[in-house]
Structure 1
């Protein structure tokens, strides 16, 4: 009897806590409100099932508690009950999966006018690459990645010379403009996640993954790595700064293109060699 009351109170407490809890989603700052809706549907379905199961256990413990002179009936199986449980379970799973499939289709269907930005993750930081004036990102080769070419760009590809390289963990995006993120990892599995955007995706070594979103609110938003990637995982953070469209290009102009970076590297190497000879 006592356990049955505890179970019933557990259900009541869980429902009350869910309704008045101060912890909820971070404020939405992108177009992915449908992801919030999908999560709420999942919470509601699993919440109803949780309440039904725990209350049924409480009822069973009370209804079939030990009483002198009462013997339990033996019923090894019930075809009708099994059909009901199978049917209800199937409906519940379908109700949780269907919205997610619809949202996933939208999540990977990139609008034709979306800008493209490459995100490079490595232990333990973020870097970004924007297409230059030609609007096309240059070809890359993981075998070319080194200290002088952190993105592994192919210097023979004419599309790569004007690519803008942004290192340091901060990236700026214009508000109200869709953007497609191409995700690459240098070393291990990472995950690009901005809670306010409701958008995330794994960075898998040897693969290029992607997703898209439209920032809807200006401001600073923290980038987190949502995949355990080593001892420095907790420090692998960056910042997405969403700005007005007319403020984006001036910021981008502050960073070097790949051609400029190659030229500067060659110049620095020449100076170094000259100094070595003079010594």
Structure 2
């Protein structure tokens, strides 16, 4: 009898914790409402199963508790009950899987007009790279990473000379424009995650991963690493600023290109490269 009351109290306490809890999803600031929908549907299905099964178990414990003179009926198999359990379990699993599969299909299908931004993770900081006027990111590889070439860009690739290097943890994005985030890691597993965007993806050393999203609300949001990546994992934070097109263009104009950074690092020997980046007639920004 006591066990039945404890189980019933557990169900009631869980419901009260859910209704009264201050911890809930952050306001949505991207196009990924389908991810929220999949999560909410999964939660409701699990909630119904949790409540029904636990209350049923509590009722069974109370209804068939030991009483003098009562003998239990031994029934090792009940095919009718097993068919019902199998059917309703399959319905519940399908109900949880279907919304997630629909959202995943959208998640891996990047719009053709999406802008490209590369996010680079390392212990324990973020940095970013955006294409220049040619709209194409230059090639890069880990073997080329040096103190003067943090992204490992190929200096002979003309498409990389006008790439914008954002060597800080603050990224700006235009509102209501789709963007494909290309993700690379220099050392260990990281995970690019902005809670308000819902979208997240692991950064795997040696592999280029990606996600895409469309920011729908202007504002400043935290970039988190959602993968335990070492002792400084908790401080691996960044900022993404979603703003109007004019403000975004102004921010872009303030960023340095790879060619300009290379010119500065080489001193006077890099002047020609810097001028080529500034002058589209030189054939660099195709």
TM-score, normalised via structure 1 length? 0.94
Instruction: Name 2:215's counterpart in structure 1.
Output: 215
The residue matched to 2:138 in structure 1 has which SS? coil
CA distance in 1, matches of 2:192, 2:21: 28
CA distance in 2, matches of 1:141, 1:17: 49
Instruction: Name 2:259's counterpart in structure 1.
Output: 259
User: Where has structure 1 moved over 3 Å in runs of 4 or more?
Assistant: none
The residue matched to 2:74 in structure 1 has which SS? coil
Instruction: Name 1:110's counterpart in structure 2.
Output: 110
Instruction: Name 1:169's counterpart in structure 2.
Output: 169
The residue matched to 1:162 in structure 2 has which SS? coil
User: How is 1:10-159 mapped onto 2 (pairs within 5 angstroms)?
Assistant: 10-159=10-159
Distance apart, 1:72 and its partner CA = 1.1
CA distance in 1, matches of 2:151, 2:90: 47
CA distance in 2, matches of 1:11, 1:126: 43
Q: Cα deviation per residue 1:224-278 (whole Å; 9 max; x = unaligned)?
A: 00000000100000000111111112212222111111111111899xxxxxxxx
Are residues 50 and 269 of structure 1, via their aligned partners in 2, closer, same or farther at CA, if it must alter by over 3 Å?
A: farther
CA distance in 2, matches of 1:265, 1:9: 68
Instruction: Name 2:232's counterpart in structure 1.
Output: 232
Instruction: Name 1:193's counterpart in structure 2.
Output: 193
Distance apart, 1:9 and its partner CA = 2.3
The residue matched to 2:202 in structure 1 has which SS? strand
CA distance in 2, matches of 1:266, 1:20: 60
TM-score, normalised via structure 2 length? 0.91
CA distance in 1, matches of 2:57, 2:229: 42
CA distance in 1, matches of 2:233, 2:18: 31
The residue matched to 2:196 in structure 1 has which SS? helix
What is the root-mean-square deviation of aligned Cα atoms in Å?
A: 1.4
CA distance in 1, matches of 2:21, 2:141: 49
Instruction: Name 1:245's counterpart in structure 2.
Output: 245
Distance apart, 1:19 and its partner CA = 2.8
Instruction: Name 1:179's counterpart in structure 2.
Output: 179
CA distance in 2, matches of 1:84, 1:146: 63
The residue matched to 2:184 in structure 1 has which SS? strand
Distance apart, 1:16 and its partner CA = 3.2
The residue matched to 1:99 in structure 2 has which SS? helix
Are residues 268 and 41 of structure 1, via their aligned partners in 2, closer, same or farther at CA, if it must alter by over 3 Å?
A: farther
CA distance in 1, matches of 2:32, 2:228: 25
Structure 1 portions without partners, runs of 5+: 271-279
Distance apart, 1:133 and its partner CA = 0.6
